[in-house]
Amino acid sequence: MTDNPGKQLATGLGRAFGGALIFSLPVLMTMEMWDLGFAMERWRLVSLLLASLPLLMFLSHYSGFESTWGWKEDARDVAIACGIGLIVAGLVLALFAVVDLDTGPSDLAGKIAIQMIPAALGALLGRSQFGKEGKESDKDETLVGELGIMAVGALFLCLNVAPTEEMVLIAYMMSPWHSLALVPVTLLVMHGFVYATEFTDDGGLPRGTPWWSAFIRYSVTGYVVSLLVAAFLLWTFGQFDGMDWVQALRISVVLGMPAAIGAAAARLIL
């Protein structure tokens, strides 16, 4: 027996709130994110918000918290997810005493806005994470679709650690040889995930596809996408400030590892 639309919507919203809380809780409890909400240049924050919207739109179409059939419905669901993200971020930060009645308007808006992004991402992932049904008919097997899936997966996994000081510390601790070794190791791990997720009965590649074809199409391309996502987040969070391009590249390679694993495992995550 099919649920009525009202019950389906309530279920979708419940999953969205659950996904928003689960995914955003680690960053809601991260001091670096609190500081960024206060000190981050507002034009960088706006850039991050604007860059997140296309990925949220794609995620809504691919695996949102309810079935959608066009861009207008996707835009509506993204707006709902952002609203849920704002509510979850505001309530949790208030419960943790990170914000209160004495918090200035600019500080309050910055701290909640930057936390809204992971919360909205989690809200849209609520369907695939908590629901028994998927949105298989919406999966886009084109190159653009695959790149979108990879970008969302990269963002999903590396957003929690991108603003932390450990990314810079690890990059400084590693020698140039460590950095060079991390690239092929990351590609190898990515390719393992590609075989686990793509060479299946319902995967994107038929059995018998040459390994080098999958390696170039998914692993190498996905790694480039992951590095771009990692570099953009690091730049947005001000991690590149005062660095030369060599240092910036090394920290991008460090963050690129979790980003690449997220991109390669996107079909499992999403």
For the stretch 209-253, pLDDT in tens is 666 666 777 788 889 999 999 999 999 998 999 889 999 999 999
State the Cα–Cα distance between residues 144 and 152, nearest whole angstrom. 12
DSSP symbols for 234-247: HHHTTTTTT--HHH
Largest Cα separation within the chain, whole Å, is 63
pLDDT for the residue 138: 46
**pLDDT band of 157, cuts 50, 70, 90:** confident
> Which of these, 58, 262, 56, 47, lies nearest to 148 by C-alpha position?
58
Q: How confident is the model at residue 3 (pLDDT cuts 50, 70, 90)?
A: low
pLDDT tens per residue, range 24-38: 898 899 898 989 888
Q: C-alpha angle 28/36/228, rounded to 5°?
A: 95
Select the more confidently predicted residue: 49 or 146. Answer: 49
Provide the 3-class DSSP secondary structure of residue 98. coil
Separation between Cα atoms, residue 182 and residue 185, nearest integer Å: 5
- 197 Cβ neighbours under 8 A, 6+ residues apart: 203, 264, 265, 266, 267, 268
Judge contact between 252 and 227, C-beta under 8 A.
Answer: yes
Distance CA 126, CA 267 (A): 15
pLDDT digits (tens, 9 = 90+) for 163-215: 888 999 999 999 999 999 999 999 998 888 766 665 554 555 555 566 666 67
Tokens of 98: 């990170």
Q: What is the CA radius of gyration of the chain?
A: 19
Percent of the chain exceeding pLDDT 90 equals 36
- Rounded to two decimals, what is the model's pTM? 0.81
Is residue 60 a contact partner of residue 85, using CB atoms and an 8 Å limit? no
Closest CA to 122 of 89, 91, 98: 89
Angstrom CA distances, 156 to 59, 220, 225, stand at 11, 19, 13
Q: Give me the phi and psi of 96, to 5 degrees please.
A: -85, 5
Q: What is the pLDDT at residue 137? A: 42
Cβ atoms of residues 62 and 148 within 8 Å: yes
Q: Retrieve residue 201's tokens.
A: 């009965």
Q: Is residue 68 predicted with pLDDT exceeding 80?
A: no
Mean residue pLDDT of the chain comes to 82
What pLDDT is recorded for position 180? 93
Pairwise CA distance, residues 59 & 270, whole Å:
8
Quick one: tokens of 46? 């706006």
Q: Is the pLDDT of residue 57 over 70?
A: yes
